[in-house]
Amino acid sequence: MLKFDFTNALGENLLDGIKYEDIKGITGRLHAFLENFRQNPPGFVKVFKDSSHLEQILKVADKCKKFENFVLVGIGGSALGNQAVFGALFHPMWNSLPKDKRNGFPRFFVMDNVDPEHIASILDIVDPAESVFNIVSKSGSTSETMANYLVVRGILEARGLDPREHLVFTTDPNEGVLRKISIDENIPALEVPSNVGGRFSVLTAVGLLSGASTGVDVKKMLDGAQEEVDRFKNEDDTFKNPVLLNAAIHYLYSRSGKSISVMMPYSNALYTLADWYRQLWAESLGKEKSLTGETVNAGQTPIKSLGTIDQHSQVQLYMEGPNDKVITFLRVESFRRNLKIPVVHQDRKELSYLCNNEMKDLINYEQEATSLALLEHGRPNLTISFDSIDETEIGRFFGYYELLVTVMGFLYNINTFDQPGVELGKQNTYALMNRKGYEAQKQHIEDVKKNLKIFKI
């Protein structure tokens, strides 16, 4: 079970920190959210217990397992969750391991950006005849994903390979071009539930197919997420409910000028979770308008760091720079592998203190030391501890943070589930690429550019 330590985030222990009384001042709002949640949970919660949804994923995964390569084609919420699962649960050199060391499961690749060098490098080492390509786009209109799909489709056709054997779509149940192509050409397709947005979709077919195809027990991930939901909805006391308490802490600190939220795992395996968190936090909470139309410019800027590496870079800023951050440490109590530091140079006092210790203890002492140093500098920080890194704990983490940003959005009085700030960039891209229907936007871009004072060197 995930464990939460808020000691270093509260004003009873921290100079100028928010205090119990500050949190008590918003408990009425928190309880109002909790009661509404019990009556009307958001869509992402409903999939955790949807056995029919899981059965479809596992059925398709059985066919994907026969391939040497599983290639995910997606971006943002259609890729980050997959990368987080893979980074947390798989051997760091998985794709370099021989097949028997992978228990026969496929290698895993992600085609996300449209950087031509990045995409070409994947295609250099992936034989399409031995690969299944999972095209993930709920709308079917994501420029980057669809461009990469067309590249893949062109290669399959040039090689004379049947797209029905090498493609799986994950898209809207009824709408969009991918759904139409799947129907017209009998290409296998899984559903993104219509009531689940992209950044909340890691525990749907979007994030579960790649895991199930490469050996992850995805049922345990769903069970872990459901455990966090049950823990959340069954606890009325804010100070015993880790979602409500964390939401209150981040909300109140953001209102007092702490506009940055840092996630710092002390585990390389959890670093990709911080990537997933950054999208969830930024896209869910960064909103210009409130639900009632006022300009609020809500949200904190999410940043990721990696312990211990960033103790030697970013922590200097966190410790002595602007006091505008709330820092969340991720800590692992039981690592899957460990190393003992041998007794060498025991006569050298600069080195002897390390001898005969274990690396797992060193990394956790470094996390504790950093959190205490930040406390002494008046910098609020909290720690989330994983008992171990496994499917259940990772599922708990996903469920926990999806709940957390939902409560945060309620406190900010914003729409947690839209992303209007992303849409203008998409429309401009369509216009610049001469997509039909965007001629007026293309003319608008030209008019804007004419009025710019150009400064280029």
3-state secondary structure 242-261: HHHHHHHHHHHHHHCCCCEE
* Predicted confidence (pLDDT) at residue 141 exceeds the cutoff of 90: no
CB 386 within 8 A of CB 330: yes
What is the rounded average pLDDT for all residues in the chain?
96
**CA-based nearest residue to 130, from 206, 194, 71, 203:** 71
Q: Is the peptide bond before 27 cis (omega within 30 degrees of 0)?
A: no
298: tokens are 């809500």
Query: Which position among 312, 450, 453, 456 bears the catalytic label?
Result: 312
The secondary element (H helix, E strand) that includes residue 350 is helix 349-352
Q: Is residue 24 very low, low, confident or very high in pLDDT (cuts 50, 70, 90)?
A: very high
Q: What is the pLDDT of residue 51?
A: 82
Measured CA to CA, the distance from residue 240 to residue 226 in angstroms comes to 18
Residue 424 reports pLDDT greater than 90? no
Find the helix or strand (DSSP H, E) in which 108 lies.
strand 107-111
Is 448 a residue whose pLDDT tops 90? no
pLDDT at 445: 85
* Residue 274 neighbours by CB under 8 Å, 6+ apart: 263, 264, 265, 304, 305, 306, 330
More confident residue, 428 or 216: 216
Q: Which pLDDT value is given to residue 358?
A: 96
* Per-residue pLDDT reduced to its tens digit, 146-161: 999 999 999 999 999 9
φ, ψ at 283 (rounded to 5°): -75, -25
Note if 444 is an active site residue. Answer: no
- Tell me 56's DSSP state: H
Q: How far apart are CA 107 and CA 96, in angstroms?
A: 8
Category of 297 on φ-ψ map: left (φ > 0), alpha (ψ -120 to 50) or beta: left
The catalytically annotated residue of 289, 426, 442, 444 is 426
Which pLDDT score, from 0 to 100, does residue 316 have?
A: 97
* Confidence at 450, pLDDT banded by 50, 70, 90: confident
266-283: average pLDDT:
98
Write down the catalytic residue from 144, 227, 228, 283.
283
Specify the pTM.
0.96
The more confident residue out of 267 and 425 is 267
Residues with Cβ within 8 Å of 336's Cβ and at least 6 positions away in sequence, in order, are: 388, 389
In order of 8, 22, 29, 374, 378, the CA distances from 11 in angstroms are: 8, 9, 21, 14, 9
Residue 50 is predicted with a pLDDT of 85
Give residue 426's pLDDT: 83
Backbone angles phi, psi at 119, to 5 degrees: -65, -45
| Phi/psi-derived region of residue 17, left when phi > 0, alpha when psi is between -120 and 50, beta in every other case | beta
Task: Give which of 429, 336, 342 is closest to 92, Cα–Cα.
Answer: 336
> 283 an active-site residue?
yes
Q: Is the pLDDT of residue 431 over 90?
A: no
Q: Residue 433's pLDDT band (boundaries 50, 70, 90)?
A: confident
Q: What percentage of the chain carries pLDDT values higher than 70?
A: 100
Q: What is the pLDDT of residues 87-139, one digit of tens each?
A: 999 999 999 999 999 999 999 999 999 999 999 999 999 999 999 999 999 98
Tokens of 336: 């899957």
pLDDT value at residue 444: 87
Bridge partners, residue 328, by sequence: 263, 382
Q: What is the DSSP string of 188-229?
A: -EEEPPTTS-GGG-TTSHHHHHHHHHTT--HHHHHHHHHHHH
**Adjacent-strand bridge partners of 132:** 70
172-192 tens-digit pLDDT: 999 999 999 999 999 999 999
Structure confidence at residue 446 (pLDDT): 87
Average pLDDT over every residue of 242-252:
98
Helix, strand or coil, per DSSP, at residue 9: helix
Helices of type H across 110-217: 116-125, 143-158, 163-166, 177-185, 205-213
Based on the residue annotation, tell me whether 426 is a catalytic residue of this protein: yes
Region 17-21: mean pLDDT is 96
Cβ pair 110, 76 in contact under 8 A: no
pLDDT tens string 306-322? 999 999 999 999 999 99
CA atoms of 375 and 391, how far apart (whole Å): 32
What is the Rg, in whole angstroms, of the alpha carbon atoms belonging to the chain? Answer: 24
Please work out, in degrees rounded to the nearest 5, the angle formed at the alpha carbon of residue 104 by the alpha carbons of 103 and 107.
105
First to last CA, the chain: 55
Q: Say yes or no to pLDDT of 407 above 90.
A: yes
**Which tens digit of pLDDT belongs to each residue from 36-65?**
999 999 999 999 988 888 999 999 999 999
